[in-house]
Amino acid sequence: MATRKMTRQLPRRVPRLLDLRVAGLPFELPVFPIAGALLLPGGKLPLNVFEPRYLALIEDVLSGDRLFGMIQPSVSMAEPDPETADEPDTGSDDASTPLFGVGCVGRLSSFAERQDGTCSISLTGLARFRVRHEIEGLHGYRRLAVNYEGFEKDLDQVGEIDFDREGLLESLRRYFTHRGFDARWEAIEQMDDETLLTTLSMICPLPPAEKQALLEAPTLADRARTLQALLEMAGHETEDGGKSHAV
């Protein structure tokens, strides 16, 4: 008589993304401060990690819940060299650099180590957090005490978003034309509303303060209106011959 083998389900040390709830997120977070690097709930942020303190951060979170926060320094940063704009300057931060009051916690979703010890990672955005105060750092990286007040719904299913999609795309086309950017418009137009707003907010090369405004927008509809206004302003500045704030 044939018998069917019973497979025992092993408990997960790290819960699935779909099982996460804001109420279960930690109130103390290691943080990776980078000017201009925006992580939003539901977004994917690739990072190259090469500085020892942040390599230590990655090693620590890999052995735990794989969660850490992305947050921007609140001080004015020098405009980066366009040739290296895709390589965030992690050295711009130190323990005395003030930070914005809102960041986003992400989960390390992919990790690839290079032979020289540096690594590339991908973060999945979960929920925004508010900074309560800074706590003692660890292994050279900074840590914050946080709460999630006002962001309790960041992990909830998004319904219909009330915004002018065609108007936003038209503003984006003008902005890209003025900046000389190419785009895969067919792919952009096929994105659902949430993916469109999250992706554009994260990838458009806007200044840190403007990216912070997108992060802190209360709702996705507010974020859409903010993004369209920022694209319009940047496009007009470039068109009029003035210096654009984009980095």
Domain co-membership, 67 together with 30? yes
End-to-end Cα separation, the chain, in angstroms: 70
Domain co-membership, 29 together with 140? yes
Query: Sign of the C-alpha dihedral, residues 213, 43, 90, 133?
Result: positive
Domain co-membership, 114 together with 65? yes
Q: Are 107 and 155 in contact, with CB atoms under 8 Å apart?
A: no
Q: Are 79 and 37 in contact, with CB atoms under 8 Å apart?
A: no
In a domain, 114, yes or no: yes
Largest Cα–Cα separation, the chain: 83
Closest to 212 in 3D by CA, of 104, 136, 80, 120: 104
Domains of the chain: total: 2
Domain co-membership, 127 together with 222? no
Closest to 212 in 3D by CA, of 38, 44, 31: 38
Last residue of a domain, one of 147, 174, 192: 147
Q: Are 129 and 154 in contact, with CB atoms under 8 Å apart?
A: no
Angle between helices 193-203 and 220-239 (to 10 degrees): 40
Per-residue pLDDT of the chain (247 residues; tens, 9 = 90+): 555 565 667 677 789 999 999 999 999 999 999 999 999 999 999 999 999 999 999 999 999 999 999 999 998 544 444 344 444 444 456 778 999 999 999 999 999 999 999 999 999 999 999 999 999 999 999 999 999 999 999 999 888 899 999 999 999 999 999 889 998 999 999 999 999 999 999 999 999 999 999 999 999 999 999 999 999 998 776 454 443 333 2
- In degrees and rounded to multiples of 5, residue 128 shows phi and psi of -80, 155
Closest to 207 in 3D by CA, of 44, 38, 40, 67: 38
CATH of the domain at 100: 2.30.130.40
pTM: 0.85
DSSP state of 117: S
Closest to 108 in 3D by CA, of 126, 93, 127, 88: 126
What range does the domain containing 82 cover? 24-147
Domain co-membership, 58 together with 141? yes
Q: Are 144 and 69 in contact, with CB atoms under 8 Å apart?
A: yes
Residue 115: the pLDDT is: 97
In a domain, 181, yes or no: yes
Q: Which residues pair with 112 in a beta bridge?
A: 120
Residue 159: the pLDDT is: 82
Domain co-membership, 135 together with 174? no
